Amino acid sequence: MLNFFSSKKSNQNYTNEGNIDLKNIPKHIAIIMDGNGRWAKERRLPRTMGHKAGVEAIREIVKECSNIGVKYLTLYAFSTENWVRPKDEVSALMSLLMEYLKKEFRELDSNNVVINHIGDISKLPQVCQQELINAYENTKHNTGLVLNLALNYGGRDELVRAFKLMHEDIIKGKINENDINDNTLSNYLDTKGMPDPDIIIRPSGEQRLSNFLLWQCAYSEFWYSNIKWPDFKKENLHKAIYDYQNRDRRFGGVKQS
């Protein structure tokens, strides 16, 4: 099989088009994959063709993130609000997810990728849940890129679920309410144990968060672009990383002189 990724040990396929600093790669990149519908409309195609083209962009960006040593990539694939879309669009998205997991599993696994998911997947069709669980179980020992597919994900929903779990543990006496701090809450989130996103990328021209990683993005850098997700290529990823590397992150402090 053709190996599109650099191997686990080297990044021989990598070309650094954007002159990014490979020693300062963001640990966690999160992407709101927006603009599939508009991309399709511009071409007089059904919306689902936009999503299909969006999967190609996923392939390219996952490959590139793995090649350049990003540790976590979180992709907003289906939000808690997306259920209100027409039924055939929702089922097309679920089918694309299944197809992606089935088709890409071997290559992702052989390239050391952990196929993880965040969000409340219990509302997804049973077959999707099983495929996601299998993909995670079979890749969880990999040590490369962690690919978080955010599915039936909403930042508010995640926080509500976290509060409920934390409340249960307080009642059981597992934690003391006086000891609750930032870290305690982080440990009940779907992203437990992961660093917060360094950069949130949103293509398609929209400039909003849309209920994505509300807690985790406290100090994330935002990067917007008019490119629609199906047209988002590794060069665009490099530009986002380049811009990120030239930002001044102070985390509420002052710049060292």
Interaction site with ligand FPP (CB under 6 A): 33-38, 51, 54-55, 58, 77, 82, 93, 96-97, 100, 149, 204
Give the residue ranges of the annotated binding site for substrate: 35-39, 47, 51, 79-81, 83, 85, 202, 208-210
- Rounded Cα gap, residues 146 and 74, in angstroms: 8
In angstroms, what is the minimal distance from the CB of 58 to ligand FPP? 6
C-beta closer to ligand FPP: residue 149 or 166: 149
C-beta closer to ligand FPP: residue 38 or 71: 38
Instruction: Look up 176 and say whether it is catalytic.
Output: no
In angstroms, what is the minimal distance from the CB of 33 to ligand FPP? 5
Helix 47-68 vs helix 234-245: crossing angle, to nearest 10: 50
- Rounded Cα gap, residues 13 and 4, in angstroms: 8
C-beta closer to ligand FPP: residue 100 or 212: 100
Exactly one of 82, 112, 187, 211 is catalytic; name it. 82
Task: Name the residue number minimizing CB distance to ligand FPP.
Answer: 37
Handedness of CA 20, 238, 72, 141 (dihedral sign): negative
Give the residue ranges of the annotated binding site for Mg(2+): 34, 221
Give the residue ranges of the annotated binding site: 34-39, 47, 51, 79-81, 83, 85, 202, 208-210, 221
Backbone angles phi, psi at 169, to 5 degrees: -70, -30
Q: How many C-beta atoms surround the C-beta of residue 134 within 10 A? A: 13
The tokens describing 66, both together, are 């793995």
The tokens describing 165, both together, are 């779990």
The tokens describing 102, both together, are 């089935």
Q: What angle do CA 225, 231, 235 make, to 5 degrees?
A: 70
Exactly one of 16, 21, 24, 34 is catalytic; name it. 34
Instruction: Look up 82 and say whether it is catalytic.
Output: yes
C-beta closer to ligand FPP: residue 70 or 93: 93
Annotated active-site positions, please?
34, 82
